[in-house]
Structure 1
Amino acid sequence: MNIPLPLSSSPLPLTLFDGAVCAGFPSPAADYSQRRINLNEHLLMNEQASFLFRVRGDSMLGIGIYDDDTLIVDRSITPAHNHIVLAIVDEEFTVKRLFQRGQLVRLLAENPAFPPIVLKEGQELRIWGVVTFNLHKLLNV
C-alpha cells in the first residue's frame, strides 16, 4: 500500500511574472514585473491536512491524471458527489471520481477501459481525502 507523504511546511518561493502567457497566438513582447511567491500558499488549502501521492496506472487519463503524476490530497475537505477522491477499497488506495446519490455510492474511472467500482456486500470503502491539485511533469530529465 502507498504511504502518504506529508508536505514540507517550509516555504518554497518561486518567481512569478505578472502578465499572462498566451496559449493561442503570441502577444507582443512587454516588460513584465516579477515577485516571489510561496507555492504552499497557492497549492495548499490546509497545509496540515495535505499530502502527496504518486499515481500508478491510467484509469484517470480522461481528466489529465497520468501514470507517475503527483497528486495533492487534502484530508480536511468533506468529499462530495463528483469530487476526485483518494479512496481506500479493501485496504487498497485508488484515485477515482466519487459518484454519490443518496445511498448509491460508486467510484468512477475517467477511462472507458475501467468499469465503475460498485461495492459488493462485505467490501469496505473509506474516502481518505479529496484531490485538489495534480502536479504533472512535462519534461523527463
Structure 2
Amino acid sequence: MRSLPPQVPLPPRQGAAALLCLLATEAVSAGFPSPADDYVEGRIDLNVELIPRPLSTFFMRVSGDAMRGDGIVDGDLLVIDRSVDPRPGMVVVAVHAGAFLLRRLARRGTGLWLVASDGTSPPLVLTGDEGSGADGSGADLWGVVIHAVHHLAGAPSRRR
C-alpha cells in the first residue's frame, strides 16, 4: 500500500483507559429465534475487539451515501487500518483529488478500480506508485475499513 502522510493525528495510546462493555453469553439469532438467557458472560474491551493494531488505526465519519448498497451511510463511524493489505472485495479509503473517498476495491481486467455501491457514482481507476493519471482521474489507497459502526433508529450518534 502506498504510504501517504496521515491526515489525522494518532489517538493517544499510552495509558489509554479500557472501554469495558457488557458481553452476553448468547449470540443473537438473525434467523430463527432462540430462547434468550439472562446471563452476562463478562466484559469486553472495545479497544481490543475493534482495534487490533492501534498504531495504524484511524477513525473517520462517513459523509454521503455512495456506499449505501453496502449498508454504509452518511454519519457512520469507520475503523480504518492502514496496515491491512488491500484485496479486491474490501471496502477501502482512497485519496482522490486531495480528498478522502470511500469505495469497494474491485478487479476489472488487469486493473484495480474503486467502485461505489449506490449505482450512480462512476468507478475510478486505482493508480500505482506513479500517482494519478494525467487527467487526475485516478486515486491512491490510504487504508482498509475493518469495521463500520452504523447507528440505527432510536440510537443516534452522540455527535448529532
TM-score by length of 2: 0.76
Matching residue of 1:131 = 145
**CA contact under 8 A between 2:124 and 2:139: conserved in structure 1?**
no
Tell me, which stretches of 5 or more residues in structure 2 are unaligned? 1-6, 127-131
**C-alpha spacing 1:115/1:28, structure 2 compared with 1 (3 Å):** same
CA distance 1:106–1:34, shift in 2 (3 Å): same
In structure 2, relative to structure 1, the CA distance for the partners of 1:61 and 1:5 (3 Å cut) is: farther
Could you tell me which of 18, 27, 30 is aligned with 1:20? 27
- Percent identity, aligned pairs only? 38
Per the TM alignment, residue 121 of structure 1 is displaced from its structure 2 partner at its CA by 3.0
Residue type matched to 1:4 in 2? V
Decide whether aligned partners of structure 1 residues 13 and 108 sit closer, same or farther in structure 2, where only a CA change above 3 A counts. Answer: same
The 3 A distance-change label for structure 1 pair 8 and 69 is farther
1:60 aligns with 2:67: yes
Q: 1:5 to 1:134 in 2, by over 3 A?
A: farther
What corresponds to 1:85 in structure 2?
92
TM-score normalized by the length of structure 1: 0.85
The structure 2 residue matched to 1:32, chosen from 32, 35, 39, is: 39
